[in-house]
Amino acid sequence: MNALLDSTRAELLRLRRWPAMWVLLAVWVTLNVTFGYVFDYVAYRTGEPTPVGEGAPPEALLAGLLPAGAPLTLVQGMPMFGGALVMILGALAVGSGYGWGTWKTVFTQGPGRGTAFGGTLLALSAVLVGLVLVSGAVDLGVSSLIALTEGQPVALPGWGDSVQALGAGLLVLGMWAAAGVLVGVLARGPALAVGLGLVWALVVENLLRGVSGILAGVGVVTDHLPGTAAGSLVGALGAARVGEVDGTPGVFGILDGPVATGWLVAYLVGFTAVALLVVRRRDIT
Amino acid sequence: MNETVVTTEHLTKRYGDRLAVDSVSLTVRRGEVYGFLGPNGAGKTTTLRMLLGLVRPSSGRATVLGAPPGTPSATAGVGALVEGPGFYPYLSGRDNLRVLARYQRLRDSAVDLALDRVGLGDRGRDRFRSYSLGMKQRLGVAAALLGEPPLLVLDEPTNGLDPAGMADMRRLLVDVAAGGQTVVLSSHLLAEVQEICDRVGVIAEGRLLTESTVADLRGATGVLLRADPLDRALAIALRVAGDDAVTVLGAGTAGAALRLAIGGFAVPALTRELVARSVDVLEIRPVERSLEEVFFEMTGVEPPAARPAVTGTEVSR
């Protein structure tokens, strides 16, 4: 247990000073604010439709911009954009170690392979927890500012909604980060891992969903893909779905909330377990 | 003092049809500098990777510090530099070692000690990416030294260094060895091994050809004699050195010579004897077999004739 904590501290030290990680985290927070608030607020103020707030009435737009809507704004972009970014983070964090030769260095330090790799997983988890909390705080701050500017009451979201959104966000991001870790391990390098991961998350899943209605049997598979489960969980929280007014790409209503949660947990555990198994067994050359 | 630190029994690694390491059984004793000698691609690195638990053997067994390789109790006592240093390029040299110190539960003061030891104390705050090849290699050695582990495994630590860098690295290794740590040092440079190591294992094409002290490997010193007439010189040589201790080299050629298996101290007496019997002494000198000759003898590859002492030119500066 102590060795696991030592490994986590070591990995946190090197992640903390890694510029690539801060870039990815900053990009997510910026995207979240831009798509969650800036476009909708511009649409509300000008009355012009924007690429994001297409066709929504002004009152609905404003309601989504107030603090009570912050939990949904936090999670609505996670199934696709947030997920893609943390998948890049996971793939880079693990895959780069093969190119740099740092895994071979780390695995000869004392803690066993499983323990050292476990430290990396815990450190990444800590980063994700921090990311979700910071994004939530930023959303709350921006929405409160909008409420004050527009002369609306600053009614904070309920605890239940907040905790649910933070938990769902963490689960969605954790699942995608674990996917990134797995492809990073399998590809033994960052470039192929990031490329394949993104193609899967942004292209392949969408294509499969597209053909699911045409080919019998494919539907069962596409309804349970990682992206579908992530989108369904966020959709179950009440975020506008693909095809609805003001709908967010990647948000679906395919699975019920509890079912989607179950699949996300299964994917998260499965991806992590396979990555850990491969790391422990495969030669480091 | 004969306590063994590393033993392998028929350690074998097979990649498909190719045997990278073929039934290697070696022993490293506590406190010695063990040279692992062989040409590039002989299986040195694969063997060392198996000792570190990075590569799983196909068959055979190994014990490192009394434990199977790769287990925490084995790796905790080993400092390693394998096939080039592996560090985070965006971190400074010092921060890289601080990360490793966290894994080993060491204080940051150990990091500064290790940096000073390899002469990187004043460049520790620069990014690893900006280091020269020699500095990167030295940081690799510093990482291996971190926490003063009882066993150091250094794979070609002078690889890619310029002559000055190699000399610095060799001084560092001599210094480390003097500190009492056991060192396993792989190299394809015979002069390097010859200078630093107590014992050597010679490996070629995956097989361990021999394992002995450098002195035993090179054999006793001898004396080379060219004289005229050779037959009279031979008679005198046999009397001085003994019947079994003289070989004729290049018999029947213009450059024919005698090799006497006696120490260099016998040269003056032998010369006096030859001159007293009116034999013209053309050349007489002590000779040593270089490790290179031994090595080529063993691996069956002829050394390039026109380039004597390849390794010698590499070390002299």
Per residue in A159-196, pLDDT tens? 999 999 999 999 999 999 999 999 999 999 999 999 99
Which regions of chain B carry the CATH code 3.30.70?
220-287
CATH 3.40.50.300 describes domain B4-217: yes
Contacts of B70 in chain A (CB under 8 A): 107, 112-113
Query: Which of chain A's residues have a Cβ under 8 Å away from the Cβ of B88?
Result: 14, 18, 100, 102
Please tell me if residue A283 touches chain B, with a CB cutoff of 8 Å: yes
Query: What percentage of chain B reaches a pLDDT higher than 70?
Result: 91
The Cα of A7 is separated from the nearest Cα of chain B by a number of Å equal to 5
In the predicted model, what is the mean pLDDT of residues A69-91?
94
DSSP state of B56: -
Q: Output the pLDDT for position B161.
A: 81
In SS3 terms, chain A reads as CHHHHHHHHHHHHHHHCCHHHHHHHHHHHHHHHHHHHHHHHHHHHHCCCCCCCCCCCHHHHHHHHCHHHHHHHHHHCHHHHHHHHHHHHHHHHHHHHHHHCHHHHHCCCCCCHHHHHHHHHHHHHHHHHHHHHHHHHHHHHHHHHHHHHCCCCCCCCCHHHHHHHHHHHHHHHHHHHHHHHHHHHHHCCHHHHHHHHHHHHHHHHHHHHHHCCCCCCHHHHHCCCHHHHHHHHHHHCCCCCCCCCCCCCCCCCCCCHHHHHHHHHHHHHHHHHHHHHHHHHCCCC
- What does residue A142 show for φ and ψ, rounded to 5 degrees? -65, -45
CA-based nearest residue in chain B for residue A16: B91
H or E segment at B210?
Answer: strand B207-213
Nearest CA in chain B to A96: B88
Domain of residue A73 covers 2-281
Contact A107 B55 (CB under 8 A): no
Interchain CB contact of A116 with B (< 8 Å): yes
Predicted confidence at residue B317, as pLDDT, reads 33
CB contact under 8 A, A10 and B102: yes
Task: Report whether pLDDT(A52) > 80.
Answer: no
Confidence category of residue B301, pLDDT binned at 50, 70, 90:
low
The reply to whether residue A108 touches residue B98, judged by beta carbons under 8 angstroms, is no
The candidate with the shortest Cα–Cα distance to A124, out of A105, A101, A100, A96, is A96
Give percent above pLDDT 90 in chain B. Answer: 49
Chain A hits for B75, CB-CB cut-off 8 Å, are: 107-110, 112
Q: Of A13, A20, A105, which is closest to B87 when you measure between CB atoms?
A: A105
Please give the pLDDT value at position B198.
Answer: 87
Task: Compare CB distances from A9 to B55, B71, B102 and report the shortest one's residue.
Answer: B102
From the list B72, B84, B95, the residue facing A111 with the nearest CB is B72
Q: pLDDT (tens digit, 9 = 90+) per residue, B245-289? A: 888 888 778 788 888 888 778 888 889 999 999 999 999 988 877
pLDDT higher than 50, residue B315: no
Q: Is the pLDDT of residue A130 over 90?
A: yes
A101 min Cα distance to partner chain B (Å): 4
* Nearest chain B Cα distance for residue A110, angstroms: 4
- Could you tell me if B241 lies within 8 Å of chain A, comparing CB atoms? no
Instruction: Tell me which chain A residue has its CA closest to the CA of residue B81.
Output: A105
Chain B residues inside the 8 Å CB shell of A13: 95, 98-99, 102
The confidence score (pLDDT) of residue B300 equals 65
- Judge whether A16 is closer than 8 Å to chain B, CB to CB: no
What is the complex's ipTM, to 2 decimals? 0.91
pLDDT given at position B91: 96
Cβ within 8 Å of B, A 64-103? 100-103
- Whole-angstrom CA distances from B82 to A268, B46, B61, B294 are 34, 10, 20, 27
Query: What pLDDT does A263 receive?
Result: 96
Residues B105-156 pLDDT 10s: 999 999 999 999 888 999 999 999 999 988 999 999 999 999 999 999 999 8
- Taking the C-alpha atoms of residue A203 and residue B219, their distance in angstroms, rounded to an integer, is 69
B302 pLDDT band (50/70/90 cuts)? low
Class for domain B220-287, per CATH?
alpha beta
Token pair in block for residue B226: 């060219």
For chain A, how many structural domains are there in total?
1
Interchain CB contact of A22 with B (< 8 Å): no
The mean of the pLDDT values for chain B is 86
Q: Is the pLDDT of residue A199 over 80?
A: yes
Q: Which residues of chain B does CATH 3.40.50.300 include?
A: 4-217
pTM exceeds 0.90 for this model: no
> Are B86 and A100 inside 8 Å of each other by CB?
yes
Whole-number pLDDT of residue A83: 94
**Is the predicted pLDDT of residue A8 greater than 60, yes or no?**
yes
Q: Does the pLDDT at position A285 exceed 50? A: yes
pLDDT over 80 (residue B192): no
Contact B75 A103 (CB under 8 A): no
Share of chain A above pLDDT 70, in %: 97
Q: What is the mean pLDDT of chain A?
A: 91
Contact A156, A115 (CB under 8 A): no
CB-closest option in B72, B86, B95 to A110 = B72
Q: What is the pLDDT of residue B80?
A: 94
B163 pLDDT higher than 60: yes
Write the pLDDT tens digit of every residue in A134-151: 999 999 999 999 999 999
